[in-house]
Amino acid sequence: MDGENQSHLHHPKVLLWSVGAVLIMTALLFAVRSMRMEDTRVTRTRTAIKTLADDVEGIRRKLGRIPTNEVELARLIGTSIPRSGWNESLEYRTDKSAHTRYWISAISRDNNIMIYVYDSGHAEKGVESVPF
């Protein structure tokens, strides 16, 4: 009889460990999926910013100047301003005096809020990530 009672005591422990293992695996899978989604959004955002910067440089070569605002930029590229990986419009700003330098940026909407920015005055740096 004692052997039977001891084997019954092990069943709740096994069940508890099994439930714990399932919860841990679910949490890990969710974390991996979230990181992949964030990586995809970051890649999509960086690509959209770089592509828009290339478009602005093409306009500069063609017209000898850059667009002065987002409305003019959209008109000159023939479509709306591209969207980030978080489905937000990219922001386009110029220096207000000479309109020779511009910035294209986006803000992430994940737990680690980052600003992704391209500064034409430092084009060699590409798209930078700045913590918010």
Provide the sign of the torsion angle of the four alpha carbons 89, 95, 97, 101, taken in this order: negative
For residues 57 and 121, what is the distance between their CA atoms, to the nearest angstrom?
A: 12
Per-residue pLDDT, 99: 82
CA distance 116 to 114: 6
Looking at the predicted structure, is the pLDDT value of residue 98 above 90? no
Q: What is the pTM of this model?
A: 0.72
For residue 124, pLDDT over 60 is answered with yes
How many independent structural domains does the chain possess? 1
Q: What local confidence, expressed as pLDDT, does residue 108 receive?
A: 92
Instruction: Label residue 73 exposed, middle or buried (CB < 10 Å: 0-12, 13-18, 19+).
Output: buried
Question: What range does the domain containing 87 cover?
Answer: 2-131
> SS3 sequence, the chain?
CHHHHHHHHHHHHHHHHHHHHHHHHHHHHHHHHHHHHHHHHHHHHHHHHHHHHHHHHHHHHHHCCCCCCHHHHHHHHCCCCCECCCCCECEEEECCCCCCCEEEEEECCCCCCEEEEEEHHHHHHCEEEEEC
pLDDT band at residue 97, thresholds of 50, 70 and 90? Answer: confident
